[in-house]
Structure 1
Amino acid sequence: MDYLTTAESIFYWLTQYQISQRQIVARREKEEINFTLEHPIEGNIEVKEPLPEGKNFRSHGVGLRIIQKDKQKVVLEVYDHGGIFDPIDYSIPGDHYATTHFALLGAILFRERQQEDLLERVRKAIDFHLRTSKDEYYFGTWGYHWDFQNYAFLETYRLVNGFLSNEETKRWIKGLKSYRENSKNSLTNWIAMRAYSSLLRHKLFGTPVDKLKFMWRIRRVDKAQHSDGCYDDQRNFSRPIQYHVFTLGLLHRLYDLTRSEKIKKHFLAGVNYFTKFIDPDGCFNYLGRGQEQIFGYGVAIYV
């Protein structure tokens, strides 16, 4: 099985966890509501529960929002429509970035396969992001990961632009031009992500301020590299090998956009440092934060 086929099988496995239900009309009996929930794990569930006091609530891990109610019925928007349900957390981690990276994987596969069902899944995932990022995902328990979301959204747009309707294109561009950032996060890998996103946004839309942001951010990334090629993630404090490698992956993406010899030099110095940590069975991710996460191994293969 080739790598593309493997990636495709993973993507289609993930589609079972994408929330497909858009709207629910619940029956109301005094202060109780009854409705059918299409659940990604439990199948169709007949739900009976008290009418929520607020307009936002979760049922079996799926976010719902009351948009209309009277004495007989309550109309619910499926707030999590298009999001990827996590079977371990038993909810949609919308403040994290599973759904936008699912969209990016779908966009990569669509570029290769040109299958409409792939694009439809991508549309639903980005629609989830655009809708829920406005309130930074109502049910979030972590800080909203804008930088990871922005990276995936920009790359997805670049891959499928030209296959979207005029209305979709306008809505996506509006979202891309108005996104927020985690600018207070000073970890090197996050700064490198912001550098890449600002440069790509400048190249896509010609925004001068993004070019200035890129120049400022890449300088900060450069200053985090030691003479041995290692990148501090938290300057002068921590050097986890996983985030060193993730920074290298972003540098290579930046090199693809710029063909900068300076970026190439920093990248190769970092690769030279990293390869010394690879043991005979291929393990390397055993130092610092994020040990043995697939996050590190995926980007290491790319690097």
Structure 2
Amino acid sequence: MATSLDDSVKMDPAPKIRPKSSADDRIMFAFMAIIALYLIISLALPLYTMLSKAFTTATFDLKKYEFQVNQGNGWSETISAFQINESLNLLTPDQLKSGSDGRMYATTFFPDFSFRSKTEYRIRLMDPNDSFLVGSTRVGDTEWHDYPSNKFRRVVLRPSKSRGLDNFITYFSTPALFRSIQNSLFISILTTFITVTVAFGFAYALNRSMMRFKGIFRLIAMIPILVPSLLPGIALVYLFGNQGMIKGLLFGEKIYGPIGIVIGAVFFTFPHALIII
């Protein structure tokens, strides 16, 4: 009877209560926003700039520059910088590669050029998106521009920019540069293995054993965090360098190389690994 009575009575749903934000919540939100803005400015923007440059290549596109020469008997036929380079073999494809701020003098394509001669030169662009410089003046149109020899020597061509994977292809196709990646991976893997192994044993001894003077050993392990980063490098040179006090412990090997890099990296990362473990 009581059950049927309870079922017949309909209860109104409880009102939803929205928690009010306190002053502490607003302050915490403001600090989080400041930290997020700091991370964007200090990490995201530099990373974007670095990556955008990594995918940008710059080369001198000689087909975009045309010349005419007047040696006193009228203007010659139009010829491009590409045609001149093909006929005289002045520049190789590797020499046409450049940085974004690269420069190339227009007189490069005229081996017999002399600024004292009365010869006049014309130059024009085939693409209005490109430009060349006359001294510090930028020219970016497709009209003919006439210059005497004395001024033509100041004409500087600028590279054309494009986006792609050419920089990475060049990097990985260069044996010396590719070997640097192998060396970095070898050093990082070996350093990680040594650091984690030693830090685990040290942490286990501090927390799971009955050894004495734990506080002293913990303080010694944290010293690399407190000292200037240059000091460990100087100490390693004094200990294991050519005139080092205990260089014999390296059994004839030298500190100047992979051994020194690994020792220095382990010394620097050991306290951080110990804290995490």
Shorter-chain TM-score range = under 0.3
Normalized per residue, the structure richer in helix is 2
Q: TM-score, normalised by structure 2?
A: 0.27
Q: TM-score, normalised by structure 1?
A: 0.25
Bigger Cα Rg: 2
